Amino acid sequence: MPRHLAIVLLCMSSTTFAAEGMWTLDKLPQSAPEDNHGFVPDAAWIETAMKASVRLAGGCSGSFVSVDGLVLTNNHCVVGCVSGLSSEQQDHLNQGFLATTRAGELRCPATELNRLEAITDVTERMHAATAELEGAAFREAKNAAKAQIESECSGDDTRVRCDVVELYGGGHYDLYRYHRYQDVRLVFAPEYDIGFFGGDPDNFQFPRYNLDAAFLRAYEDGKPATVKHWFALSTAGVKEGDLTLVTGHPGRTSRLLTVAQLERRRDLDLIDRLLYMSELRGLLTRYRAEGEEQARQAQGDLTFLENSIKVYGGQLRALQSQPRMEDKRQAESMLKAAANARERLAWRAIAEAQQVYADLRTPYVLIERGDGFYSRYFQIARDLVRGAAERDKPSDERLREYQEAALPRLEQNLFSTAPIYPQYETVKFGWSLSKLREALGPDDAFVKLVLGRDAPEAVAAKLVAGTRLGEVAERRRLWEGGSRAIAESTDPFIELARAVDVPARAVRRKYADQVRSVEERHAQTLAAVRFRAHDGAVYPDATFTLRLSYGVVRGWQEQGRRIEAFTTLQGLYTRASGSPPFRLSPRWIEAEEDVDTATPFNFVTTNDIIGGNSGSPMLNREGRLVGLVFDGNIHALGGAFWFDEALNRCIAVDSRAIAEALRTVYRADALVDELLTAAD
């Protein structure tokens, strides 16, 4: 894409461009641009799109695909569930899982689904609550108003989840009301070898051959949930050039950040994060090699790490592009020119907050965000300790993650029966304590508070050996016992979480007051300038809320080479080498003769997506499910900061491959019947 176009895109209006944009469902572009194939969704289409789409609370998307609450999402989105249901005896992660009857569907230890029901504009109320405030006062007023609105919305109904969503960095606020499903069961997950075929080497690459698909089912009152809105699977599929619509929950983009914020991301956050994760990856890579059981324990974390390292690495390379950053600078200059003198101060205030952050980041990330305490036991201990203290206060005065609206999900996690492995925790925790000491220095008072005179690995071993937080009953006892139970506990992880709580809260407060509040306060100003400059036709940055993206099926050109839009199952068999991560499971090898290898397998489109969109349904204009989004290409990683229609691609599993695999490889007849009740 020519450079000047990027500038245009930052100021884009919906009439000039098809693929860029993650639109909220209440403010879809109302014109019918040629590139959108003249498609403007009507109210019924939008309602179905909204109510048949679901969010997986852990960070993925999905959709209802039958009236009986069947949900389609990615295999990589259910890895946590499948791991939690696996053991040395029953290795569903590697061998796959198929429930041939409803009774055989297994409850995921900690999966929550949210289905969006309604969007309400609460901007005026939020702005009124925070008018003229700064710093801590601004933050407290905002949080209190949010909590108040959310609690009015959800009442005492744990099936209702309400979130005040901050758009345009606070320029606009909407209340999102969700129906919450906490009884979610595993129906089908493929073997790891096919569900993650190509592994880390192929991640963010195309051509691709990956059955990254899994099925869950939402239950209510012990029975499969009956849903009004769902997407029928298309057996006709799409072809090159066809319109594709993606509804899903993109997690986070940073397209509206200032240059100072992007530079901080580039020079500080991304590099530090990548170094931390890379070392951890090396540690766990060796741990995995120590035995089959160790491999099983570490697999989920490693997959997450490898994916994150690619994402952050791609973001870093994107932000190192001098021409791209120059575009950002020019766009910012143009916006500044449209601002008045008072508004222009916002940029400086935000830049100064980045300097504050630079000094604060190390302790903040280690002590409060948990990089220095990388253990499931510690996360549990912190939730128990803080949860007890916070629940003694009114909901709207608590830290966000302990307000009433958040408790159902928190409790689900806290009481998850997913196993915790002491040896594995010792390794991770000891290592993270050594990072804590390395970053703050052995003479730092906080480090001494944590380690005393002992070595990090020795502290970790002692704490893990002494804790009972691996037992769900003990966690429940401490949770229900509240502050008193916490104060009396001699569990070493509870003692640690208690001991570090004051300094951890202090650094969190400093970050909230001196960095986040400043950024948010002034982002409101920038949003106002931006709306004025572009007549309101700006989509907000992603916020892990439901968005619609328009695109078309299209390959791309790279270094003079054409990348075709589709792969086939034949390509899978050709590429399979016998060695992981290019190994086929026995089931797929046996099925080779029966499978229709001409079936399209994976394909690419121009839809504008980002992490969080994993599991998103890809629809045709009739609202049929033609694909299942599971990845972007390597260029899509820059999508955190800008969209490049020439190169950014969304990668999906073809609906025809899902049907063919279920029918021919897995002989999952009941599931196929359930999916194909409505013909194209």
> Does residue 442 bind its own copies (CB under 8 A)?
yes
Q: Which of 90, 285, 333, 677 binds its own copies (CB under 8 A)?
A: 285
Q: Supply the minimum distance, in Å, between the C-beta of residue 373 and its own copies.
A: 17
Can you read off the two tokens belonging to residue 248? 């899903």
Using rule CB under 8 A, residue 316 touches its own copies = yes
Considering the complex, state which of residue 266 and residue 376 has its C-beta at the smaller distance from its own copies: 266
Residue 280, interface with its own copies (CB under 8 A)? yes
Token digits of residue 168? 């345009």
Q: Say which amino acid occupies 273.
A: R
Instruction: Report the SS3 class of residue 620.
Output: coil
404 vs 631 by CB, closer to its own copies: 631
List of E strands, 357-432: none
Q: How far is the CB of 432 from its own copies (least distance, A)?
A: 11
Q: Does residue 572 belong to the site contacting its own copies (CB under 8 A)? A: no
275 contacts its own copies (rule: CB under 8 A): yes
Instruction: Answer for the pair 312, 274: CB distance below 8 angstroms, yes or no.
Output: yes
Structural contact between residues 417 and 109, judged by C-beta atoms closer than 8 angstroms: yes
Q: Which residue of 90, 226, 320, 333 would you call a contact of its own copies, by CB under 8 A? A: 320
355 forms part of the interface with its own copies (CB under 8 A): no
Residue closer to its own copies (CB basis): 191 or 645:
191
Nearest approach in angstroms of CB 308 to its own copies is: 13
Under the criterion CB under 8 A, does residue 160 sit at the interface with its own copies? no
| Other beta carbons less than 10 A from residue 82's beta carbon | 23
* Residue 4 in the binding site for its own copies (CB under 8 A): no
Please identify which residue in 95, 151, 158, 278 interacts with its own copies, judged by CB under 8 A: 278
CB count, 10 Å around CB of 94? 16
Should residue 198 be labelled a site residue for its own copies when binding is judged by CB under 8 A? yes
Residue 100: half-sphere exposure toward Cβ, Cα within 13 Å: 5
Determine if 649 is a binding residue for its own copies (CB under 8 A): no
Whole-angstrom distance between the N-terminal and C-terminal Cα of the chain? 37
Q: Which residue, 421 or 582, is less far from its own copies as judged by CB?
A: 582
Cite the beta strand spans of 70-146 per DSSP E: 70-73, 97-98, 106-107, 113-121
Q: How far is CA 111 from CA 196, 218, 248, 448, 455, in A?
A: 20, 10, 17, 38, 37
308 contributes a contact to its own copies by CB under 8 A: no
Among 8, 40, 128, 271, binds its own copies (CB under 8 A): 271
* Closer residue to its own copies, CB minimum distance, 443 or 480: 443
Q: Does 290 bind its own copies (CB under 8 A)?
A: yes
The alpha carbon dihedral of 431, 383, 410, 515 has a sign of negative
Query: Pick from 44, 289, 334, 598: which binds its own copies (CB under 8 A)?
Result: 289
Q: Which of 65-73, 187-195, 198-206, 640-648 is the region at the interface with its own copies (rule: CB under 8 A)? A: 198-206
Q: Give the shortest CB-183-to-its own copies separation in angstroms.
A: 38
Give the interface size with its own copies as a residue count (CB under 8 A).
Answer: 40
Print the SS3 string covering 149-205.
Answer: HHHHHHCCCCCEEEEEEEEHHHCEEEEEEEEEECEEEEEEECCHHHHCCCHHHHCCC
Q: Half-sphere exposure (CA, 13 Å, Cβ side) for 104?
A: 9
- Rounded to an integer, what distance in angstroms lies between the CA atom of residue 266 and that of residue 328? 14
Beta strands 650-654 and 556-558 are unpaired
Nearest to 316 by CA among 275, 355, 267, 281: 267
Of 232 and 636, nearer to its own copies (C-beta) is: 636
Work out how close the CB of 586 gets to its own copies at its nearest, in angstroms, rounded to a whole number: 18
Cα–Cα distance between 20 and 402 in angstroms, integer? Answer: 36
Which range touches its own copies (CB under 8 A), out of 40-48, 227-235, 279-287, 560-568? 279-287
Determine which residue in the list 449, 580, 596, 678 makes contact with its own copies, applying CB under 8 A: 580
Q: Which residues contact 263 (CB under 8 A, 6 or more apart)?
A: 319, 354
| Among 47-55, 282-290, 328-336, 380-388, the segment contacting its own copies (CB under 8 A) | 282-290
Choice from 95, 100, 123, 205 touching its own copies (CB under 8 A) = 205
**Of the candidates 570, 564, 578, the residue with the CA atom closest to the CA atom of residue 598:** 570
Taking CB under 8 A as the rule, does residue 453 contact its own copies? Answer: yes
Among 455, 465, 506, 678, binds its own copies (CB under 8 A): 455
295 near its own copies, rule: CB under 8 A = no
Whether the Cβ atoms of residue 164 and residue 175 lie closer than 8 Å to each other: yes
Letter for the amino acid at 411? E
Is 287 a binding residue for its own copies by CB under 8 A? The answer is yes
User: Cα-atom radius of gyration of the chain, to the nearest Å?
Assistant: 25
Contact string 231-270 vs its own copies (x = CB under 8 A)? ------------------------------------x---
311 is a site residue for its own copies (CB under 8 A): no
Torsion of CA 16, 22, 24, 25, to 10 degrees: 80
Integer Cα distance of 221 and 233 in angstroms: 27
Q: Is 559 in the site for its own copies (CB under 8 A)?
A: no
Which member of 135, 291, 441, 536 binds its own copies (CB under 8 A)?
441
624/237 Cα distance (integer angstroms):
9
Residue 580 CB, shortest distance to its own copies, in Å, is: 6
In this complex, which beta carbon is closest to its own copies, that of residue 201 or of residue 560? 201
Query: Residue 490's Cα: distance from chain center in Å?
Result: 35
Least distance in angstroms from the C-beta of 290 to its own copies: 7
Local structure of residue 405 (DSSP, 8 states): G
Q: What are phi and psi of 655, to 5 degrees?
A: -60, -30
C-beta of 98 vs 284, nearer to its own copies: 284
Q: Rule CB under 8 A: say whether 630 interacts with its own copies.
A: no
Stretch that binds its own copies, among 169-177, 235-243, 276-284, 610-618 (CB under 8 A): 276-284
The residues binding its own copies (CB under 8 A) are 198, 200-202, 205, 267, 271, 274-275, 278-287, 289-290, 313, 316, 320, 427, 431, 437-438, 441-442, 453-455, 457-458, 577-580, 582
